Amino acid sequence: MDAKDYALNLAKKAKKAEKELIKITTDIKNKTLLRTAELLIKRKEELQEANKKDLEEAERKGYSQAFLDRLALNEKRINGMVQVLKDVANLPDPVGEVISMWTRPNGLKIGQMRVPLGTILIIYEARPNVTIEAAALCMKSSNSVILRGGSETLNSNKVLVDILKQAARETGFPEKAIQFVAKTDREIVNELLQLDEYINVVIPRGGESLIKAVVEKARMPVIKHYKGVCNLYVDSEADFEKALNIAYNAKVERPSVCNAIENLVVHKDIAPEFLPEIAYYYGKAGVEMRCDERAYEILKDDPKAINTEIVPATEEDFYEEFLDLIIAVKVVDSLDEAIDFIHKYGSGHSDSIVTENYTKGMRFINEVDSAAVYINASTRFTDGNEFGLGAEMGISTDKIHARGPMGLKELTIPKFIIFGNGQIRNGVGIPKDEETVEIDENPCDLK
């Protein structure tokens, strides 16, 4: 079967399952998710053996340590997937929820009800746990899903999808609603992206090059974020200990993810004291600091930064998503300059301010135009599970119905529902025998 036929076969199966999904009860959906959680534990050794093959192959090909970290399925991450399944099962089912209702003067009751998007294609790279998160959210929101993980995770994903399908068979959930691209042929993805007749939306999760390629080729809507250039601004009225802990956590705790900060912006009044202190802790963690001229002057000869790699920053550094133990540092004169900096160099993902000044904090919240904006907290919380969404399909920086972490509700859209009692527009009903029927001369004019 060539790439075109293979893609069409997957898409047709997924589309066909939509009619079955809309009839599936919340109870069956939850039972399927919980059974998947049980099978993950039961088949853990098989999964880890498959993941070991993926890791060995990726290491042989010379992938970075950050990449290998995203690929690994250790005990903690398997337990995390189990918890995600349980969390999603415990969330309210959004499908069928009436989100508004009003009555018109003519007595019509008009409302909006949540319905599934339909069939979702998700394309993702090194993190196999996305397979479970994406499938769980689609299953609970009654969407069909086509999963396309990276070639480097093929062995792990095959086992995960087999677990999902086994759980579906055992609980009465439509197995065809879970489709998986089990081949590494990239042409299959190109063919899938042309099938807007069957696929309603595509969500790419990965590097900027992947997302741009999907946007260029897709005939259906794409929900995306290109970069996670997140910023932390330490204000002149910041609590020093809070600022140190947040700056450390947001960069060091897991630098290879999109919600880690890439730029540290510091007010000039606190910079001489704060920068050497954070440089000391960054140095212990192996963080390289790429500094603007003022930050470099503060740090280059400071004894606290002696074990930290301090280098001058280039203009390009402030745009860069490092996804590594590297951070760009900027000293600013004011909150206004900090906000302007974030608007110029940030990617609209997640940005945070550390300040004890309420007015400044609220200005930051109101004026920074990003999907998630924080006061006195690490940007590392921008995550579906951390936000109480159970999991996430991705983090959207688009200005559409879904912005930020995409949970269950973001995988549904409203449709209008109207309850009447025989109402007709403009009183034009079936004419009496003696009446003349007047033909509307402008039948396409909705007014």
The answer to whether residue 425 sits within a structural domain is no
CATH number of the domain to which 167 belongs = 3.40.605.10
Average pLDDT, the chain: 94
Whether 191 and 258 map to the same domain: the answer is no
290-335: per-residue pLDDT in tens? 999 999 999 999 999 999 999 999 999 999 999 999 999 999 999 9
Question: Which helix or strand (DSSP H or E) is residue 180 part of?
Answer: strand 178-180
Whether 190 and 320 map to the same domain: the answer is no
Whether 234 and 217 map to the same domain: the answer is no
149-205: per-residue pLDDT in tens? 999 999 999 999 999 999 999 999 999 999 999 999 999 999 999 999 999 999 998
Whether 13 and 50 map to the same domain: the answer is yes
pLDDT band at 444 (very low <50, low <70, confident <90, very high): low
Find all residues with CB under 8 Å of 42, minimum gap 6, and list them. Answer: none
Domain that holds residue 160: 3-224
Whether 325 and 215 map to the same domain: the answer is no
For 259, the token pair is: 């919600």
Whether 216 and 290 map to the same domain: the answer is no
Indicate the burial class of 228 (C-beta count within 10 angstroms; 0-12, 13-18, 19 or more): buried
The answer to whether residue 431 sits within a structural domain is no
Whether 239 and 218 map to the same domain: the answer is no
Whether 303 and 184 map to the same domain: the answer is no
- How many CB atoms are located within 10 Å of the residue 2 CB? 11
Give the separation between CA 363 and CA 420, rounded to whole angstroms: 47
> What residue has token string 């690490």?
378
Closest CA to 362 of 376, 380, 347: 376
Give the separation between CA 436 and CA 438, rounded to whole angstroms: 6
Q: How many domains does the chain have?
A: 2
Whether 212 and 116 map to the same domain: the answer is yes
